[in-house]
Structures are given as C-alpha cells and as structure tokens.
Chain A
Amino acid sequence: MYKFFEQLGAYLILMRQSFSKPEKANMYWNETFRQARDIGVGSLPIIAIVSTFIGAVSAVQFAYQFRSISLVPMWWIGSIVRKGMILELAPTISALLLAGKVGSNISSELGTMRISEQIDAYEIMGVNTPAYLIGPKIAASVVVVPMLVVIAVFLGIIGGWGAGMLGNFYSNTEYFRGVTDNFDGYDVTVMLTKAVLFGFIMSSVSCYKGFTVQGGAVEIGKSSTQAVVLSSILMIIVNFFVAFFLL
C-alpha cells in the first residue's frame, strides 16, 4: 500500500512538472506536432482496419439475432451499430489498441533515453526534461486520440453497411435510416470525453513508466509491458465511471 501511494505521488509530481512553463515555446510546439503526427498518422491504418471490422461484425451479429425475432425491424441495426460505435466500441477498442501500440512505444522510447543517458544530457543542458519530453506527448495524445476515435466511428458504420450489403441483411435505405434515426449529439459528447480521458491515461502512464525506468534492457521491456497493462486497466475502469455518471 505504501508503494502504491509512493508511486501515485511520484506520478502526480511528474505530471505537474510536465506542464510547467516551457523554455522556448516554439520548440515545444514543434515537438507536440511531431508527436501528433507520429501518434495519429502512425496509428491510422490499424485503427481503420480494426474499427471497420468491428462495425461489420456488430452488424452481422445483430442481423443474426434479429432474424430469429421477426418483430424487430432490420433498420434498427444501423441505429445499434451507430450507437454502439459512438458510445463504446470506437473509443474503448481504439484506446486499447493505442495503449498497445503507442503506449508501449512511448514507454520504451523514454526508457531507452533514460538508460542511454539521453535524458541526463537534456538535463545537463538545462532543459526541463518532463516538460519537453512528456508534456508534448500527452498534449498530442489528448488531441489526436479523439480524432482517431471519430474516424473509427465513421469507418465502423461503413463496415456495418458493407457487411449488410455483402450478406444481404438489409437495404441501403434501411441501414442509413437506422444510422440517422434519433441521433443524439450528447452521445458524441460522451464519446469525446472518453477519448480525451483515454488519451491522457494512455500517454501519461506510459510516460511515467518509461521516464522512471532504472536498470537495463530487461527493465525497459518490463516497464513497457506494465505501461500497457496498467493503462488498459485504468481505461476500462474509467470507461465504467464515465458511462455510469454521464449516461
């Protein structure tokens, strides 16, 4: 228990240092844009593939279940896929994928910099290392993850449409009637809230684990794994509380 609070305190101190005043604003902007490009462009293919098929498989499963209940109209599937993608599947699945891809990458990058004394080199120069190395990563994640989630929603809905057309479960008109029917903008607010929180958790936990690593290659690997596992668990817990309080 003592170790938990010690680590929590160290994490909070690091977060405070990460958002302290930068030495030279344009250097931090450039670094933030570089991180945003790496996280966003680098993760787009995997997010696109996974969200398209998640949308498709959702449509297939609901079509399978609705066929046995003839009272339920098939256009509901469009509505269910939309709602499911916006409220749960796009933010949660994207965040878990990003924790595995981006989170482990951030953790191992910072860990390697720590072990190879690159972080010490920055400190010797007088650079505020948490602010320069961690702040831009978190800022970029908080901005880019919601963008990726929005793209995931669109592709998931298209995936659902494609699966329906392929299996001849419903017509174009039926599906898009469902997609547009009874649309509530509040769902998007919930989705973006989740995406911002997940972006923060994934990047900050990974940065903390990487920045504080001690030892060698084995410890870098361990910290990278811990970053993915811990941020995934935290995101699932936060996901519940967001749903519980906002829905």
Chain B
Amino acid sequence: MIEIRDIKKNFGTQQVLKGISATFENGKCNLIIGKSGSGKTVTLKCMVGLFEPDEGSIFYDGRNITEMNFHNRKTIRREIGMLFQGTALFDSLTVEENVRFPLDMFTDQTEEEKRERVNFCLGRVNLPNTNLKFPGELSGGMKKRVGIARAIVMNPKYLFCDEPNSGLDPKTAIVIDDLIREITIEYNITTVVNTHDMNSVMGIGDKVVFLHEGYKYWEGTKQQIMEITDGELFDFIFASDFLKDLRRHAKF
C-alpha cells in the first residue's frame, strides 16, 4: 500500500499541489484522474521521487520515502516499475536490451537466466519475437507493451503508469488497460495509473482519486462515480453532450 499525506509542491510562485492525501491499495488499480494541469503528473512524480515535495510524506508500506537518504531511496526504487507517457524506451537499445537493462544493472543473474526472464516478460505482454527490433521500428501500442515488460522485469511491488493510453486508438487502449489490470492482480502489485481517459476509469478503476486545481476533490470507486450528479467531477466525466445524453438514456 502507498499512502501520501498532505503533499504540497510549488514551482516558483505557482502552487501546483495544495495538500493532497490519499491511499493506494495493494492488488488494485488505483487511478488518479483530473483535467490537464490539475496536478496528476506532479503527484505521480512526487510519489516516485522524481520531484521532491515541499511538504508532506509518502509511505511505501510504512516506509517514509521523503525522509530517506539517496541510498535507502534506491532500495525502494528497485521495487518500483514505471510506464511513462512517452514510453521512455532507450532509443539506442533493442527491445531485448531495454527490458534486460535493469537485470544487467542490478542482478547477478547468468546470461541464460536473463534471457529467459526477458522472453517471459515479452511473452507476458504478447510481444514474442520482437527482441532484436529497435523502439523506432515499433508501433505506439507495441512501445507501451515493451514499456510494461521493462517495468515488470524486476518483479516490482509498485507499478506506476503515466497516461498509459495517450496516443493510442480505443481498441489498443483497452488492450493496454487489460494488461495493466491482469498484471496487477497476477502479481498483487500496488498499481497507480494517472489518466484522463474515462474508458480506463470505467474499465480498471478499482479506486479513483479525482484531483482538481491541486486539491483532492473526490475519492471513490468507479461505481460511485456514476452516482455523481453535479460539481467538478460531474463536469469532468460527462464533459461532452454525447456522454450526458448517454447517461440520461442509461438512467443511472
């Protein structure tokens, strides 16, 4: 479980996070949703340690990462897998080398063991026989799947996904969502997904945290979201007339 307590973050004079507290549960897909500029990415980057929060604490199963030195923080980072919005695959490395990199850097496994693990992870994301391709030769959906394979290769306890569906067609987006959900349950990972895709919310949102202008505005499940009738969350979810009509006809 990951718990964030009263996280605040400023960039210059601009206050981006104004005191956010939330818990993200084990074995569940925890979604952070909100409009662009609401503070989703900054929250996620504070959680993984890419940004230092100005105030507040972040606990990984009771371990306060904000009070840790660089060395101890590295121990937790090795329990983290992350899928980036733009995949962040290493351009100069092949798919196999990308997925294998954490094993090369942090384990003493033999070549055979590493190859087996890489092939298992690539098989798990339905990308067999792509080992020798470079990221530039892959489609957007394939890159995301390689990103997931790299994120899970070290058997992480925590998986972070920043906008996993951005730039993907709806069908491929569902494939990626399903993959994230399956992996979360299969390995009992605490997964935190940052998204503004409502399909993802309704598909994998075991727990949903809605951010608005740097505050946590709402927290609940995907079922509870459908009971919302007004306010910022309502406007966010049913942003288009099409969705509003759909909801009216569905008689939620």
Q: Which residues of A contact B (CB under 8 A)?
A: 23-24, 27, 112, 116-118, 120-121, 123-127
Are A126 and B74 interface neighbours, CB within 8 A? yes
Min Cβ gap B43→A in Å is: 15
Interface flag for B112 (CB, 8 Å) = no
In the complex with contacts A120-B50, A124-B50, A27-B104 CB distance below 8 A: yes
Which of A24, A118, A123, A127 meets B50, CB within 8 Å? A123
Say whether, besides A23-B106, A24-B105, A117 and B90 are in contact (CB < 8 Å).
no
* Min CB gap A4→B, angstroms: 20
For B76, the closest partner residue in chain A by CB is A126
Query: How far is A12 from B154 in the complex, measured between Cα atoms in Å?
Result: 34
In the assembled complex, 5 residue pairs joining A and B whose CB atoms fall closer than 8 Å, in A order, are: A24-B106, A116-B88, A120-B88, A124-B49, A126-B75
Q: How far is the CB of A112 from chain B (nearest CB, A)?
A: 8
Main secondary structure of the interface of A (DSSP, over half): helix
Interface centre among B74, B104, B105, B154 (most CB of A within 10 A): B105
Query: Which single residue of chain B is at the shortest CB-CB distance from A112?
Result: B91
> In the assembly, what is the distance between CA of A176 and CA of B91, in Å?
50
A125 & B105 in contact (Cβ 8 Å cutoff): yes
What distance in Å separates the Cβ of B155 from its nearest Cβ neighbour in chain A?
Answer: 13
**Known interface pairs A124-B48, A126-B74. Does A117 touch B84 (Cβ–Cβ under 8 Å)?**
yes
Beta-carbon nearest neighbor of A125 in chain B: B102
Name the B residues within 8 Å of A27 (CB-CB): 104-105
Distance to closest chain A CB from B106 (angstroms): 7
Contact of A125 among B78, B85, B91 (CB under 8 A): B78
Q: Report, as a range, how many residues of chain B touch the other chain.
A: 20 to 34
Q: Which residue of A lies closest to B48 (CB)?
A: A124
Q: Would you call the interface of chain B mostly helix, strand, loop, or mixed?
A: mixed
Q: Which residues of B contact A (CB under 8 A)?
A: 48-50, 74-75, 77-78, 80-82, 84-86, 88-91, 101-102, 104-106, 154, 160
Closest to A115 in B: B86
Which residues of A lie under 8 Å from residue B104 when comparing CB positions? 24, 27
Question: B88 contacts A126, CB within 8 Å?
Answer: no
Find chain B residues with CB under 8 A from A124 CB.
48-50, 77, 80-82, 160
Cβ distance B115 to chain A, nearest Cβ, rounded Å? 17
Question: Measured between alpha carbons, how far is A123 from B52 in the docked complex, in Å?
Answer: 13
Also in contact, A126 and B106, with CB within 8 A (given A120-B84, A121-B84)? yes
* A125-B101 in contact (CB<8A): yes
B50 contacts A126, C-beta separation under 8 Å? no
Q: How far apart are the CA atoms of A116 and B88 in the complex, in Å?
A: 6
Residue among B49, B75, B82, B105 making CB contact with A121, cutoff 8 Å: B82
- Judge whether A125 and B77 touch: CB under 8 Å: yes
A31 to B14, CA, bound (A): 40
Q: Shortest distance in angstroms between A211's beta carbon and chain B's nearest beta carbon?
A: 15
Q: What A residues does B91 contact at CB under 8 A?
A: 112, 116, 118
Q: Select from chain B the residue with minimum beta-carbon distance to A28.
A: B105
Q: In the assembled complex, which residues on chain B have CB atoms less than 8 Å from the CB atom of A112?
A: 91
A141 to chain B, nearest CB (A): 18
